[in-house]
Amino acid sequence: MARNALPKQSEDFPSWYVEVVKRAGMAEHGLAKGTMVIKPHGYALWEAIQKALDDRFKATGHENVYFPLLFPEKLLSKEAEHVEGFAPQVAVVTHGGGEKLEEPLVIRPTSEAVIWSTYANWVQSYRDLPLLYNQWCNVLRWELRTRLFLRTSEFLWQEGHTAHASSPEAMEETLRMLEIYREVCEDVLAMPVNPGRKSPSERFPGAIETYTIEALMRDRRALQSATSHFLGQNFARAYDVEFLNRDGVLEYAWATSWGMSTRIIGGLIMVHGDDSGLRLPPKVAPVQVVIVPIYRSDDEAGAVLPVARTLSDTLAGDGIRSRVDDRDQHRPGFKFSEWELKGVPVRIEIGPRDVEAGQVVVVSRTSGTKRTLPAGEASSTMTSMLRNIQQELYDDALSFRDANTHDAHDYDELRAGLQAEGGFWVGAWCGDTACEQRVSQDTKATVRFLPLEPEDPGAACVVCGRPGVDKAAWARAY
RNA sequence: CGGGGCGUAGCGCAGCUUGGUUAGCGCGCCUGCUUUGGGAGCAGGAGGUCGGCGGUUCGAAUCCGCCCGCCCCGACCA
């Protein structure tokens, strides 16, 4: 029966995650500690995510650029909070060409420093603004504890870095990009997310305000899925990016930066996956429909395979990514399990009986039930079926998120809820870091986000009882 | 950096306490036959510097020392 079954999510979620990532062919560990080899099935997902984001970046006027992996160490230290925030995680190159370098180079943990140093040369006038640039690249942050996709020393991401002539314009950009992240997560990845601001202690080092979208995993832990930062004039001041405004007055440029990383793949796995493995949203699934031919003899293979291949071609003509699994070394049952593990949204089975009867058997990854369709309708049915699966995944995740989002009215409720149930717990907060730290120490949960439009923020702080200034959503996080 | 554990075939492990033939098992891999609608069976086969260096010994996967690497828990983090 179920040989090589995965660990059950309900019994051992961390093991389930590791096993799914490995067995589904997503990724494995690299040779150096904390590094990751992204395998074809994982990289194809990343490519789909890249495309969804990049199309939207372009549509909102951004262009792609590339800045160097290495830059002089002293650049980092120009922005005080920035260097303090990243110093423990930066890798430094001290030798090259067999000799000690006179000036050490850092491997980028993020590119504000090198980019703003360069922007200084690009900006003289308000006519040079805005600069709306993005780059796709890798970054390196020394990590103590790593998990595939969720936290590795090296990871892939995009980082947008924009410069503006005014504060409102930069703020508008910050929120525009947050909205794009929300849209990609919800509409493309079928992942419901909560947009919000970060508390000061969770802010990006050097930012005035950090915005986030937070998703809830199926083990009721939160995942920061993307961030967008309003950097004010901090980086312009540190890297000397000044321009003459319309009034002929020198002014520092206003900045934003925003990023989403391969971490989102870990989120995708943990939001949708079930005990059989991955469940991929059709919009990003590298294979949307897998066709498994079934036959015993060479004669039957001769009858079945051409039908399978013709159907695959027809689907391709309709813009559907399909694949015939004609591997001879595995029997159908093995293939069913494997493609379920890999999260393919739809499986079509075609055997001798089906060819005879002019039909196919269709199975959805979300419902798992088998349906028999006339062969001629298979292609026309697929588009709506994939759309339904996309919607079902979103609806499932949304109802799970909502069922695990609670109001906390006092500290006992907050603490007990975070410890016993998990999920998001929302309550008024006075804004004092001391209250924030107390919750973290008691429950290991952190403020994940401050809702953009809080209801009744003036209620008593759930920790200390003083008047609140914000609402905070707490959760244990990855 | 503190605490715990591990390194033996591609993967997962046994063997080590009490040194002694050609170092084993499961999965996977290769070949053949039978199979194929929910993770196939049988037969044959390939695959190892036992993490590294040094020591003890007639003899070391096994005992001793040093080193390297990895994993888990904690302090930092997208």
Task: CATH number of the domain at A148, please.
Answer: 3.30.930.10
pLDDT band at A152 (very low <50, low <70, confident <90, very high): confident
Q: Same domain for A453 and A369? A: no
Look at residues A238, A272, A306 and tell me which one is the last residue of a structural domain.
A272
- Asked if residue A144 belongs to a domain, the reply is yes
CATH number of the domain that A335 lies in? 3.40.50.800
Q: Round to a whole number and report the distance in Å from the CA of A236 to the C1' of B40.
A: 67
Residue ranges making up the domain that contains A311: 289-385
Asked if the Cβ of residue A147 lies within 7 A of any atom of strand B, the reply is: yes
What is the pLDDT of chain A when averaged over all its residues? 94
Higher pLDDT, A146 or A308: A308
CA of A166 to C1' of B58 (A): 86
Residue A428 lies in a domain: yes
**What is the pLDDT at residue A3?**
59
Does any domain span residue A399?
no
pLDDT at A1 over 60: no
Together in a domain, A72 and A186: yes
Q: What are phi and psi of A301, to 5 degrees?
A: -60, -40
**CA-CA distance, A469 to A452, in Å (whole number)?**
13
8 A C-beta contact, residue A146 and residue A33: yes
Same domain, A300 and A427: no
| In a domain? residue A254 | yes
Q: Mark whether A412 and A334 lie in a shared domain.
A: no
Nucleotide closest to A292 measured between CA and C1': B37
Side chain identity, residue A262: T
Is A278 inside any structural domain?
no
Would you say residue A395 lies in a domain? no
**ipTM attached to this prediction:** 0.85
* A295 and A253 within one domain: no
User: Is A338 in the same domain as A418?
Assistant: no
C1' (B14) to CA (A293) span, angstroms: 41
Q: Encode pLDDT of A184-230 as tens digits.
A: 999 999 999 999 999 999 999 999 999 999 999 999 999 999 999 99
Q: Return the CATH number at A421.
A: 3.30.110.30
A187-191, A241-245, A320-324, A456-460, range with the lowest pLDDT: A456-460
Dist. CA A89–CA A99, nearest whole Å? 24
The helix (run of H) or strand (run of E) holding residue A345 is: none
Q: Structural domain tally of chain A?
A: 3
**Domain termination residue (choose one: A209, A237, A272):** A272
A201 with A310, same domain: the answer is no
Q: Is the CB of A16 under 7 A from strand B?
A: no
A328 Cβ contact partners less than 8 Å away, ≥ 6 residues apart? none
Instruction: Give nucleotides in strand B with any atom < 7 A to a protein C-beta.
Output: 1, 29-30, 35-40, 69-78
CA of A32 to C1' of B69 (A): 10
Give the integer Cα–Cα distance in Å for A68 and A432: 40
A268 and A296 fall within a common domain: no
Residues A392-444 have pLDDT tens digits of: 999 999 999 999 999 999 999 999 999 889 999 999 999 999 999 899 888 88
Tokens of A138: 């890798």
Same domain, A225 and A314: no
pLDDT of residue A19 exceeding 90: no
Q: Is residue A367 part of a domain?
A: yes
- Return the pLDDT at A360: 98
Q: Which helix (H) or strand (E) holds A29?
A: strand A27-29
Shortest-distance nucleotide from A143 CA to C1': B77
Which one-letter DSSP state was computed for residue A53? H
- Please check whether residue A398 lies inside any domain of the structure: no
State the average pLDDT over residues A155-184.
98
pLDDT for the residue A256: 98
Q: Is the CB of A297 under 7 A from strand B?
A: yes
- Within this chain, do residues A266 and A342 fall inside the same structural domain, yes or no? no
Q: Is the dihedral of CA A57, A63, A65, A71 positive or negative?
A: negative
Whether residues A111 and A244 fall in one domain: yes
Question: Is nucleic acid strand B under 7 Å from A139's C-beta?
Answer: no
- Please give the nucleotide, over all strands, whose C1' is closest to the CA of residue A338: B39
| Together in a domain, A266 and A350 | no
What pLDDT, in 10s, does the model give residues A53-98?
A: 999 999 999 999 999 999 999 999 899 889 888 888 888 888 887 7
Query: What's the CA gap between A20 and A16, in Å, rounded?
Result: 6
